[in-house]
Chains A and B, each alone.
Chain A
Amino acid sequence: MPNRLPSRDVAIIGLGWTGSILAEQLTAEGLDVVAIERGPWRDTPTDFNVNTMPDELRYRIQHELFLRPAQQSLTFRNTLGQEALPVRTWGAFMLPNGVGGGGTHWNAEMWRFLPSDFVLRTHLTQRYGAAFLPADMTIQDWGITYDELEPFYDRFEYLCGTSGTAGNVAGRILPGGNPFEGARSRPYPLPAMKQGYGHALFADAARNLGYHPFPQPSGNLSAPYTNPLGVQMGPCSYCGFCEWFGCANYSKASPQTTILPTLALRKNFEARTLCEVTRINLDRTGRRATGVTYVDTSGQEWEQPADLVLLCGFQLFNVQLLLLSGIGTPYDPVANTGVIGRNFTHQTTSAAIGFFDKAKYNFNPFMSAGAIGMCIDEFNGDNFDHGPLGFVGGGYMGQVQTNGRPIETTPVPPGTPLWGHGWKQAIRDNYLSTIFSGAGVHGSFYSYRDIYIDLDPTWKDRFGRPLPRITIDLKPNELRMSAYLTDKYAEIIRAMGARQVVSQPRKGPYSMSAYQTSHLCGGAIMGTDPRTSALNKYLQSWDVPNLFVMGATAFPQNAGYNPTTTIGALTYWAAHAIRSTYLKDPGPLVRA
């Protein structure tokens, strides 16, 4: 029997971005909040020590900040007929662990989605006709519009000290910014970062080709900043250790650098780390969450009752916990019924490597940052006519090279020996004169009937619970999109003056071995109809109204952008609904 603890107003599962934002918002409301996090407490001077953080072997190769597969994993297969096998080392995406979650080790690329992304099915159907979409594509509208979300995008950007050049303020298109972006109510809080030589050269080439390059919106700060919570951040030092690493300089937006110092001072907040929630408990009706059960490092089980439960874990484990707790109907791709596990998506990234004449070009790639870069948005969303192209979707592309780290970022031309003198010589010849953006093309990944998450029938986690099973592949639509966009991208790299361009469009089948991005989305999506969505437009469970589910879990499909800014905006949007409406009258915020 678990030990039963005194009841709290709010139990938060997972203390990453969304858990931290909600904890801040609800403690400000005077509620008694406990956050239960399966990983350790982490903070800047001790855990992101500037002496030891720039260690590629430790953090990039050995995955220091991430979940261990022995703690929790998943199984993977491409198609329904295959047997899924457990993932024993991370590859295609990284699974976060510990306070700050993915917000500690991200690059901090801070994109908003396009207005049309939120009404995707309606928009594409209107423009191209329903028959233009593949029959098995299950894209949906979000049930929320860009205009509704805009004030909350703004809040998240100002929390983070986002550095960028606005392209559209209140409908006015401004020079130097992204002319395709939705209207923003005000400019970014900080000016854009400085750009390296390679990044600037990309912008010149893109401009010459008739595109509209702009600096990538960045959570690596261009200047000192004090956010609305009074928390201070420093200017980025362009050290090139962002993704996979914690920031040692207080200059990358993360829960640690933006929220947790304020939260730590609040007496109505408690964080319980190294405690893994194993179940959301329901009352007999199955319509009300009574709290959560978790296990500490001693194996002791605890029951934490709470009036309001906020599921703020990583996308995959949010879905697993819903399925294990019996909340909502599990999705069945054959019968096409149920919602939990439905519309699982990822991101279709690709690249083109540019090798330049080393006598003429020196890009100093080590001087970089996670969200530095010059981008174009001409080929994102529906910013271009898909009619003659035979696919939907798109992505931004840019010279967004984040680093010149010595193990990973040593591109060499095809045909180079894999080891020995020839390999070393090729690295010497190319290290300073190569453009190598791992995800230079950041494509969308739309949803399909047979790409989903369920519980594995065979493989169990350390508690004996079924592992989450993902069934995922790259569909012809995404492959065509990737081929088209990667060609456009390679053209720009060539126009920069590269002597050789190696184009790497995404190829199927979906592979678990090489890193793509960690942008897993969907599985408990938001929407307007409980038959096709798990959550209403306020991210509240249709089935259990005192449960809200945060994060990219709610995305009906993934757009051609990094997801975190939209996650942050949705979290503030949900927090606003909870504070202004739900707490006054707890119950469904939308009648089904």
Chain B
Amino acid sequence: MRLPLAVLALCVSAGLARAAPDAQDFETIARGRALTVAADCQACHTAPGGQPFAGGRPIETPFGTILSSNITPDPDTGIGGWSDHDFVAVLQKGRGRDGQHIYPAMPYTYTARATHEDDLAIRAYLATLPPVRRAVNDDTLPFPFNIRAALGIWDRLFFTKGTFRPVPVKSAEWNRGAYLVTGLEHCGMCHTPKNLLGGDRSGRALQGYALQGWFAPNITDDRRRGLGSWSVDDIVSYLRTGHNRFAAAAGPMAEEVWVSSQGDDMADLHAIAVYLKDQPGQDVSAAPLDPHRPDMAAGAAIYADRCSACHTPDGAGVAGLFPRLAGGPSTQSIDPASIVRVILRGARSVSTQAAPTGPGMPSFAATLDDREVAAVATYVRNAWGNAAPAVTPARVAADRASLADRPTD
């Protein structure tokens, strides 16, 4: 076991003569911890209020809710009894210990890009955690999605095996960013559009996707709907602190920043930003709606009355505190799920060590009706140079109804 691993490690570690992973080696464990943080394993593998990594968190999928597994070293209910081979098979092949297919709620289509050596480092770190005895029901999906054999077909359609291959013409930093974004960081899990079967629409990687009542925005370099107006440093600041001069992380991204990226290596964050900035935008031309439309006029008045005290009359916001609404993806995404949600439900941005304030926006559900929410959202999406499709009162009504069933976050 040792020799081939060492050979593999030598193959992938550019210029760094690392020893074969030793499960008790300090450096391996430390690197495994950093990778576990980068991969954000803890977020999904921890139930609300539960012990870290002990699983049981409900993961929403389009086909039903799945409970995450216990990945502490408990021998019976966790992965303590697993071999390294078993562990690597999950990350690389999407196969459980018994050889059965696992559901792609576990991002194995991404973790497969990680090197064997990194997989084992994660394993080495997880083995150091306190074992937690907590059995998790892993068969919660309704028929027919509970037939795991069907996942073999899914894998053939949407799963490309194989570790990451560097692109020689790109810089080492770009390649590091690509390795993380398309691999362990699994950004596309939320930010890449999915087809009807939940597979990534790989031709539209990182162009945004609606999930959990939010729209995970386009994070390509698209000028209007993506990160085109952000610099590399803006992206690093956002991932590191949850805040930058434009935006504040809320919802699932707040959790990602809290559990994962605020603890990421600065060089890795920089690499991620460099890679994202190199993802070409779509730059589809768009014209703002006519400001004289009734909904635009009403929206402008509501904005002045309800929003401008914090977000400022020109939509510039206050850096680090009140998000900028002029420009950027959070307002101009084609799918308005996030902006409608934030107006109806309010949102709490993440409080991090580097930016502890964690400002929040209150809910306007009780003071603005569906027409008013639609009008002000439409206005914000089409003021100050913004351009995005109008939000209809029917859409707001539908979102209001579906949000009523969601727990607060």
Contact = CB atoms under 8 A, between A and B. Distances in A.
Size bin of chain A's contact surface: 20 to 34
A261 B358 CA distance: 7
A450 B306 CA distance: 52
A232 B362 contact: no
Interface of A: 43-46, 49-52, 224, 226, 229-235, 237, 239, 248-250, 261-262, 264-265
Nearest to A261: B356
B409 to A, nearest CB: 13
Interface in B335-378: 346, 348, 351, 353-364, 366-367
Give the dominant DSSP class at A's interface: loop
B353 A265 contact: yes
A261 to B, nearest CB: 4
A44 B354 contact: no
Interface stretch (B122-130, B231-239, B315-323): B315-323
B147 interface: no
14 contacts: A45-B360, A49-B362, A50-B310, A51-B363, A226-B320, A230-B355, A231-B357, A233-B321, A234-B322, A237-B309, A248-B362, A250-B359, A261-B357, A265-B356
B318 A234 contact: yes
A224 B354 contact: no
B319 A224 contact: yes
Contacts of A249: 309-310
Contacts of A44: 359-360
Contacts of B366: 51
Contacts of A51: 306, 362-364, 366-367
Contact of A45 (B346, B356, B367): B346
Contact-residue size bin, chain B (C-beta under 8 Å from the other chain): 20 to 34
Chain A CB count within 10 A is highest, among B319, B348, B356, B361, for B356
Contacts of A49: 362-363
Contacts of B319: 224
A229 B362 CA distance: 24
Nearest to B319: A224
Q: Is chain B's binding surface mostly helix, strand, loop or mixed?
A: loop
Given A49-B363, A52-B367, A234-B310, 20 more contacts: A43-B360, A45-B346, A45-B348, A45-B362, A46-B362, A50-B306, A50-B310, A50-B362, A51-B306, A51-B362, A51-B366, A224-B321, A231-B356, A232-B321, A232-B357, A234-B321, A237-B309, A239-B309, A261-B351, A265-B356
Contacts of A233: 321
A230 B359 contact: no
B367 to A, nearest CB: 5
B342 to A, nearest CB: 11
Contact of B318 (A224, A229, A239, A264): A224
B104 to A, nearest CB: 35
A185 to B, nearest CB: 26
Contacts of B321: 224, 232-234, 250
A230 B354 contact: yes
A226 B359 CA distance: 13
B358 to A, nearest CB: 6
Nearest to A231: B357
Contacts of A229: 356
Nearest to B362: A49
Contacts of A52: 367
Contacts of A261: 351, 356-358
Interface in B290-325: 306, 309-310, 318-322
Interface in B49-106: none
Contacts of A239: 309
A247 to B, nearest CB: 11
Contacts of B357: 230-232, 250, 261
A395 to B, nearest CB: 33
B359 A262 contact: no
Contacts of B318: 224, 234-235
Contacts of B346: 45
A51 B318 CA distance: 19
A44 B321 CA distance: 13
Contacts of A250: 310, 321, 357, 359
B117 to A, nearest CB: 33
A43 B354 CA distance: 20
A248 B362 CA distance: 9
Nearest to B365: A51
B364 A232 contact: no
Contacts of B310: 50, 234, 237, 249-250
Contacts of A234: 310, 318, 321-322
Nearest to B364: A51
Nearest to A239: B309
A453 B359 CA distance: 41
A192 B234 CA distance: 31
Contacts of A237: 309-310
